[in-house]
Every structure is written in structure tokens, then in C-alpha cells.
Chain A
Amino acid sequence: MGENTFPLWLIPFLPLVGAFINGAFGYRLQRRFGEPVISAIGVSLPWISFILAAIGFVKLQGLPEGQAVISQLWTWVEVGEFKVDMAFAMDPLSAMMALAVTFVGSLIHIYSIGYMHKDDGYWRFFCYMNLFMFAMLTLVLADNLLLMFVGWEGVGLCSYLLIGFWYKDLNNAKAGMKAFVVNRIGDFGFLIGFFILFWSLGGEWSEAGYRTTGAFSLHFGSLPAMIDSMATKTLWGVPAPTLVGIFFFIGAAGKSAQIPLYIWLPDAMAGPTPVSALIHAATMVTAGVYMVARMNFLYVLTPTAMTVVALVGAVTALFAATIGCFQYDIKKVLAYSTVSQLGFMFIGVGVGAYWAGTYHLLTHAFFKACLFLCAGSVILAMHHEQDMRKMGGLGKPMPLTRWTYWIACVAIAGFPVASGFFSKDEILWQAFNTDALLIPGWIPWLLGFVAAGLTSFYMWRSYFMTFTGKTPEVHGHEPEEQRPAVTGVLVILAIGAILASFLGLPHLWMHIPSAIQQFLSPVFGAAANLKTAGYGHGTEWLLMIASVGVATLGLGIAWWLYRGRTSTIPERVLKTFPRIHKVVYNKYYVDEAYQATAIRGFLGLSRLSAWFDFKIVDGMVNGAGTITRAFAWIDGAIDTYIVDGIVNLVAQTVKAIGARLRRTQTGRLPTYLAGLVIGVIVLIVLTRFLSDVYG
């Protein structure tokens, strides 16, 4: 082993082994030995991956700055000078991602032992979860774009499999299909981006194979150096980096549920709750953010693409937050909250504050996983009831769930004791302070600021609706706290949500750049030259206080309206403005709009072309037929009396000959073939003979 090599490939590979064992033998293992064997395999391997990732991280710390731990397996594709390796690399960014994915993922695996207890598909569940870990770790540890795309598609597949996990319910199967199709649209954009990138990096096909301007790979380490050469290329009058950036962002928007491709994520909550926590909150949906951060050297070249990313992120953050305020299904609230938080991350990476965006990704992984798992715990206690209106007062029988949910709410709402505040506030400050976009920085800031207030409101609303008030009876007995496998995980995640703060204590407080910023700076070197508006510390303090203020306001309103479930104001407000409520509750009718435009449009187009085929094309053909018939009638008259006389004579002759010849048509293959062979021989002989005569 050399200085900076480490068998990183083991990190994704181990969960793959687990997926294979449980996938191939799980059914029999479960029947023969019961669930413990399945979970022993399914849970232990991700933990070993976590340990390996930690060792890799330690190794990375020992290296000089700017170097990465690498693990080169073999050359994957080599055409001419284009070369892609099957290789994994761990730089600070992927180290952070890998640690978060393996740690949170492994915890959620433990949680699943309790949650999926006595499910028929227990083995299948762990197989898919391990497969997902494999794909996600491939995505984050990949050394080049191509391998990353393999992981990218892999997580999409696993997401589809797990959303439709209880596939016997048609709605779940439909939700899985929806996620898959919407993700395909995004991936199509991603692929187009790929092609444009490939094209613009230069190179052409020739007799000798693919020739490039030099050794050419999609290796992340060497891409930044090559990307400068593409800055001058244009396609349809648009600079290539801008196009690539925007198309890549379409892929990211599909995977990370941004407008207009966010519609699949709320439906994805049909899957088991651990899946919602792992895939649709903590890890997979952040892949888009990760990708944009990974390609930061590309985005800094193009203010247009940065503006698109930041603006779409900001609008999504606000839009999803407003929907979240009016949902009653606890998982739907969390789903829209996830969409909204992903919007924040995109504001971060869009304005060039890559480290802030990825830091929010990290903290979000903790507190949102915690929230989802708490929700899962509540749902189990309520016997699969997800409507918050039927809950209430669960704080008393379920103290651990309640307090972990409380901590996570503090974190997400943005109070300066838990991690969410530090990451979100940093994003908002950076957005306000940026001057690298085509629009002034206060626009994304304002949208994000309002969204932050709404976040605080809807999170506390869900907290008060679920845990305060009168305890309901479910199936005749009181809801109970869950098993330690469930609550233990909640506690660890809640602690993580607080401890993650220390990674990102603001510059303003500590007078040194925060730990995470320093740690990630080698990856995001390109962002250092982005222009800022240059506001001072005073402004930063002011914005920080405003953030806390708006969060407190949200908490206050939620407290006033929902604490103890006694106030009737919400009902009355809703009754006063039934229209608005209806529109927002139905998610602005976006799904219906898609149904009416995209889907209906597509069907309409099909129908139109069918109609065109039937009426116009067939009509033309029929018309031609009619005209022909008319001519034919005249022609026929001539024929019958004049021509036929002659023809009949000929025909009689032909018929007589045909009757004899017909016997040669035996219908048997050998006869025909013999004829063919003889014919060919005759032809060749003739050719030779003739060439002898004339040649």
C-alpha cells in the first residue's frame, strides 16, 4: 500500500455483498433461521463500511492538503486517448459524505430491525437497503463522472424498489413509478449535460480512434484543469459551461426534488418510514447537491447557471414551505420540509457558498433522519395512522420520541443552539453577501428568509399537534413507547444534530473560519475568487438576529395556534379563507396541472396523430383509390372488349404452361436451394466463359 492508497472499494462493496446474500438466499434464510440472521448480515456490513470510511478519513487527515486517498482498481473504458478508470477517491467532500451516509445509514438499518419486525418482505427490505448503500457510496466515492453516474442511477433504482416496497397496494406501486419516471426526466437532462461536456472538452473521431487534445478522462482530479479550455466553446451561441451547468442542474433537480421535478418526493412517502428517512431525506435526495458541489469548478465559470441554481432553490424552499404549513399527514409535512430544505442547500451551492450548502446537507441528514424516525415511531404507536389531527398528547406515553423530536425541531427551525441554525444562517448570509449572480443577492436571501420563518412554524405546528393535548386511544389501549432499537437510534441522531453545530460555528463568533469550511476548502478552491458584495460584520449580526427573530415568530404563532390542541383559531381562519386553504392544501394543484398539461398533452398529441393518420392520410389514400377506380372503370371497358381478346389467348397459353410448371413449386426447401446452387454455378461459369471470350 502506498502513501495515499487505501482499499476504498471495500466501502461500497461490503453492502453489495450483504445485498447479494440477502437477495439470493434471504427468503430461505428467513424461513429457516428467522429474522435475526437477515438483520445480522444486513446491519453489520454497513457498520464495517462505516469503520472503513473512518479509517480512510484518518488516513486523509495525514495527507498533505489537496491530496486525496485513492483506490485504483482497473481501467474501465479506454478508447484512443480517452480513458476512464474504475477507481474510488476520498477527498474531504466525499469523506464527509461517506461518513454521513455510512453512519446515518447504519443507524437507520438498526432502526429498521424494530420497524420492519414481522414483515413478510424482511429479507427483501434489507437486500434493497444494502443495495442502496452500495449505490450511494459508489456515487459519493467515485473518482470520475462516469462511475458517479453508475451510482446515480443505482440509487434511483433502489429508491423505486423501496417506494414500491409494499407493492401489493396499487398506490404505492404508482408512487414508485412516478418517482422513477420523474427521475428519468432529470437523468435525461444529466445525460445531455454529459454529452455536451464530452463534446466541449474537445476531440474528434478519426481513423486511428478517438483523438483528444491530450490525455482525456472524466476524472474529478484532472477535470478542473481541462475545464478552462471549454470556457471558450459555444453551442447555439451559449457558452458550453453554462449549458453543461444547467443540464446538470436538471439532473440534480430531478434527484433532489426541486421545482419543477419535486412532485415525486411527497408521493415517495408511501414507502416504509426508514426508507423515507434514509433515502428521501438524509442521503439520496442530497445527491443533486453533492453533484453541484462536486462540479463547483464548472459552476464558478458561469454566473447564469449559478443564478438558475440559486433562484430555483430559493423558490422551491419557499414554495414547499407554504405547502408544508397546511398538510395533516405527518410524513407529508416532513416530505415538503425536505423539499424546502433541499432548496436551501441549492441556494448555498448556487451562490458559491459550497461549503455552507454541503454543511447544511450534513446537518439536515441528522435532524431530518431523526424527525422521520420519530414520525415512524409515532406511526407505529398509532398503528399506522399518519393523520396528525387524530394524534395529540403523545408526549406523555412516549417521552424519548417526544424529546428527540423536540431537539430536531429546534435544529431545523434555526435556533442558535442546534446545528440547523449554523448551516442555514451561513447559507442566508452568503446569499445576501454574494455578487456573483446576475441578480442581487438579497432576492434569494429574502425568499429563503421567509421560508425559514415558515419552516419554524410548520415544524412546531407538527410538534404541538402530535405531542401535546389529549392522548387518544388506539384500538382500545394507550400508545406505547417503542423498543430500544428504535429509541436508541433516535437519541443518537438527536445528539448528532446538536454536536454537528461544532463543525460550523460561525466565523463571526470564533474569529477563525469554521472547522468544516477549513476542512472542505481544498475541494472548493475555485470558489475563493467569487465576488462578494462586501457587507461588514454589522450586517451579518443583523441578519443573524433577524433569522432568530423570524424563527421565534414561527414558534410563537405555532404555540398560540396549536399548543394543547385547544385553540379554535386555526379552524376559524381556515373557514374564513376556504379558497386559499384548499389551493395550498392540494399543493397548488401542481399534480393536477401536470395531469392537465404534460400527461394530457402527450395523450392529446397521440390522439391527434392517430386522427391525422385516420382522416388525412387514409383520406388521401382513399381519395387516390377512388380516382384510380374511376379511371379503372373506363380502362376496364376498353380492356374487356379489346385487350382481353388478345390477353385471354395469351393467358390460356400461360395457364397451360403454368399448370405444368406449378409442380416445380414443391414448397420444400431443398428443391429451391438446389435451384439456387445450380443458378450460381451457371452464372459463374458464364462469367468466366464470357470473360474468356471478350477479355
Chain B
Amino acid sequence: MNEPLTLVDLVFYGVAALTVLSGAYAVFSGNIVRAVFSLMGTFFGVAVLYGLLAADFVAVIQVLVYVGGILVLMLFAVMLSGNIETAARSNRAGSIILGGLVGIVLLLFLITLAVQGPWIQTDPEAYRATTASIGKMLLGKALLPFELLSVVLLGVVIGAVVIARSRKSEEADS
């Protein structure tokens, strides 16, 4: 098993480190703005990992939607909710102990599970473009969920507007 590292391996280890570290920073940073920006590293890292896994289309969409959309939304949420400076990590001991405990147990458990397997595996094929086949699949086999998703998105658009809209009476209440 101790063969020399290939380029793919090097890229993987580098990107995995970037993903995990920036993820960790996003979780443990005391400053919410920095956390959100650090999350960008994770999203990019995951996109590269998708690329390594021959899912080119998903990788591009990951960058487009997560970095271009969700991250911006989060920044808006931070800014509009107005406590950029005070967004400190919870200091409550109970939560830290509970969280830490659950985290450690979960991590050990999952890694054991991942490494032990046993997984049924086949050797990966060569890389090939997937966009066309995904498009065919979305309009064929996966048509129903695809269409349902558009209904969901419509609901989300309306719902988000309804929830976020300021109501006069509520303003008066508070």
C-alpha cells in the first residue's frame, strides 16, 4: 500500500485539508462574518472533490449555487439581523459539553464506519462529461421529482416573501 503519491492524491489531500480546516474555522470562529467567508473555502473544496469524483456538472452547480447564491444570502442574513459584532460563540457550558460529547462520539463512530466498510465497490471508470446525460435523465427518468421541485421552488418564493414581509400590526407590537 505504500506506493508513491500521485498528483490526484496530492490534490485530494490538499483540498480535503482546505475543506475540513475552513469548515472547522466556520464552526469555531467567534465572528459570524468570518465564519461565513470561511465557509466559502469549504464550498469550493467540496466542489473540487466533486470534480475528483468525476461529477463535473455538480461541481459547477455547487460553485454557482452555494458560493453565488447561498453564501450571499447568508451574508445578507448576517447584515440584516444587525449583530455582526456581537455574534460570539455560545458560552453556555451545557451546550459546549453536550456538543463536544456528541461531536466526539459521532466522529469516532462515523470514521470507524467509513473505514471498516465493507463497501461493495467497482473500479471507477475514466472521466467523461456528464452534463448531457444528466440533462436527459432530468427530462426522462427523474422528470417527476424535477417538476415537483419547480413547484417547491414556487412555494419557497411565495413563502419567503410572506414570512419576511413586515406587517404593520407586528411592527406596532414590538
Contact = CB atoms under 8 A, between A and B. Distances in A.
A209 B133 CA distance: 11
Contact of B105 (A79, A208, A670, A681): A681
A670 B109 contact: no
Interface stretch (B45-53, B75-83, B94-102): B94-102
A79 B135 CA distance: 10
Nearest to A208: B140
Given A677-B106, A678-B102, A681-B109, A670 B140 contact: no
A674 B94 CA distance: 12
Nearest to B140: A209
Contacts of B34: none
B140 A677 contact: no
Interface in A196-255: 205, 207-209
Contacts of B102: 674, 677-678
Nearest to B113: A684
Nearest to A205: B140
B119 to A, nearest CB: 14
A681 B140 contact: no
Most buried by B among A207, A670, A685: A670
Interface in A161-184: none
B89 interface: no
A124 B99 CA distance: 61
Given A681-B105, A681-B106, A670 B141 contact: no
A207 B98 CA distance: 50
Contacts of A209: 136, 139-140
Contacts of A79: 139
Interface in A644-695: 670-671, 674, 677-678, 681, 684-685
A207 B141 contact: yes
Given A681-B105, A681-B106, A674 B98 contact: yes
Chain A's interface size range is 10 to 19
Nearest to A678: B102
A684 B102 CA distance: 15
Contact of B99 (A208, A674, A685): A674
Chain B's interface size range is 10 to 19
B95 A670 contact: yes
Interface in A63-94: 79
Contacts of B98: 670-671, 674
Interface in A256-296: none
B139 A670 contact: no
Contacts of A677: 102, 106
Contacts of B140: 205, 207-209
B99 A670 contact: yes
Contacts of A670: 95, 98-99
A209 B136 CA distance: 7
Contacts of B141: 207
A681 B139 CA distance: 38
A687 to B, nearest CB: 11
Contacts of A678: 102
Nearest to A685: B109
A77 to B, nearest CB: 10
A684 B141 CA distance: 32
A678 B102 CA distance: 7
Contacts of B99: 670, 674
B8 to A, nearest CB: 31
A685 B99 CA distance: 20
A571 to B, nearest CB: 60
A671 B98 CA distance: 9
B20 to A, nearest CB: 19
A207 B109 CA distance: 40
Nearest to A79: B139
Contacts of B139: 79, 209
Contacts of A671: 98
A678 B98 CA distance: 11
The 5 A-B pairs of least Cβ separation, nearest first, read: A209-B140, A674-B98, A674-B102, A677-B102, A79-B139
Given A205-B140, A678-B102, 13 more contacts: A79-B139, A207-B140, A208-B136, A208-B140, A209-B136, A670-B95, A670-B98, A670-B99, A674-B98, A674-B99, A674-B102, A677-B102, A684-B113
15 contacts: A205-B140, A207-B141, A208-B140, A209-B139, A209-B140, A670-B95, A670-B99, A671-B98, A674-B98, A674-B99, A674-B102, A678-B102, A681-B105, A684-B113, A685-B109
